[in-house]
Structure 1
Amino acid sequence: MAAPKKTQKRMPRRREEFTYRGYKIDELKAMGLSELIPLMPARARRKFNRGLNRGEETLLEKIRGGDEKIRTHLREMIVMPEMIGKSIEIYNGKEFLKVEFQPESVFHYLGEFALTRKRVTHGSAGIGATRGSKYVPLK
């Protein structure tokens, strides 16, 4: 006779709260741009020091305004802390892909989340692609 199994309920693993260089997301959202710039990676820091263009400023205004549906072609825009939790549709060259931003995506480019190339799926060879297919009737 088999012994009864011991069943223990395990607590679900809790993820630690995300921090970026020692700051929580709420703290990053509360910071002004002048306080955020020193925390950014070098390329993003250079971009913001040189200033944003009109399209990028318009995109940030839409996000701050709380627009429901935001679509953009600006793949070179950097994900700011105020974008976390929002969903933005990013153009990949063919269509707009809906992206929901997680805390881990802070200070990455929008284009990193809307891939422009499809994954290659290799199928079977087509008619005439191999020597053996010479003898296969077409119909």
Structure 2
Amino acid sequence: MKKQQLEVEPDLDFLLLGLVSSQKASKIGFYLNQAASLNLERMSDFMLPDYNPQANTSFSRFSFSDEENHLDYSLLANKEFGLCLINELKQFDFLMIIRGGIEFFDAALFITDCRNINDILHVALIENEKLKSGLSWVV
């Protein structure tokens, strides 16, 4: 009898933006709330699984669910306490993950809103298909 393999591809239906700023995550969340009409709220920190309980491997996280537009926004600190959440994106201080009905989402307008924030030095749309590490464990 021939064996069949089931191949499951991770759902990569999200937008990923990299943000560069020297400000703290709470300030960036506040600025994004004002500039892009969001309501990001502080969530429990994103914890990396670690075998050393003494090591601090938590990263600040803010979230907002826009039920009207079927979008979920997550702002994650990419750098905390000298550690990097995703090493291949170490040039970015923060990651903005946008999930849901992104086919109707105006990414160019959102990026423009982010660039109009003085304390955000750089914003880039990241092609998540090109990431070697994958983001399924973060998203």
TM-score by length of 2: 0.26
Q: Which has the higher contact order (CA 8 A, sep 6+)?
A: 2
Greater share of strand residues, 1 or 2? 2
Greater share of helix residues, 1 or 2? 1
TM-score by length of 1: 0.26
